Amino acid sequence: MSEVAVVLSGAGFLDGAEIQESVITMLTLDKAGVKYQCMAPDVAQMHVVNHFTGEVSEGEERNVLVEAARIARTKIIDIAIANPNDYDAVIFPGGYGAAKNLSNFAVKGAASSVQQDVLQFARSFAATGKPMGFVCISPALIPHIYGADAKLTIGSDADTAAAITEMGGVHVNCPVQDFVVDEERKIVSTPAYMLDERIGDVATGIEKLVHKVIEMING
């Protein structure tokens, strides 16, 4: 049976992994009969956001791996000990945690970097030639992982797309219910909540991405 690594970045879209995107990803994999292993870096979050007010909770600290365990129902490992050879594909759900905890894209934009353990795992996995899926803002990681000229989407946000282009990515505008494929590199991306759409539309795009990734595993 195939197994997919799902890389989380906390819990809650303002400072961690987008919960709905993460659950839709895992549910779609499970319905397709594909095992998954959640993982996250064992590091402090950039900050903690009160999801009721949208304001930063000054003085509060949380751990990315511990928070991600809320979504994974504790079935999660530190990405630092994950072996890329154990998995047939990797999927990164979105949420600002991808741009705040897995990387510093939210602060640095085109001058950003990726957290060391995440980058090592992702680059090692990319070198195997197996497929990877990226949801919402997580495609901002792609130029760091694959280098220049990788094709991807974050939807249609001009500023974010411009930063990704400056990093060497090839951005393609895409509606929420669709996805973009870089066939050469086996990269699949979908906008999800980068576009302010209904959960049903977001789910359609993520489901298509997951099924495309599974097709690439089997094909």
Which one from 64, 82, 132, 136 is the annotated catalytic residue?
136
Element containing residue 35 per DSSP (H, E): strand 35-40
Closest C-alpha to 14, from 80, 76, 62, 59: 62
Identify whether 174 is a catalytic site residue: no
Instruction: Please tell me the distance from the alpha carbon of residue 25 to that of residue 30, in angstroms, as a whole number.
Output: 9
End-to-end CA distance of the chain: 14
Amino acid 163 reads A
Instruction: Please tell me the distance from the alpha carbon of residue 111 to that of residue 167, in angstroms, as a whole number.
Output: 8
Residues in the chain: 219
Do 93 and 136 touch, CB atoms closer than 8 A? yes
Residues that are catalytic: 136
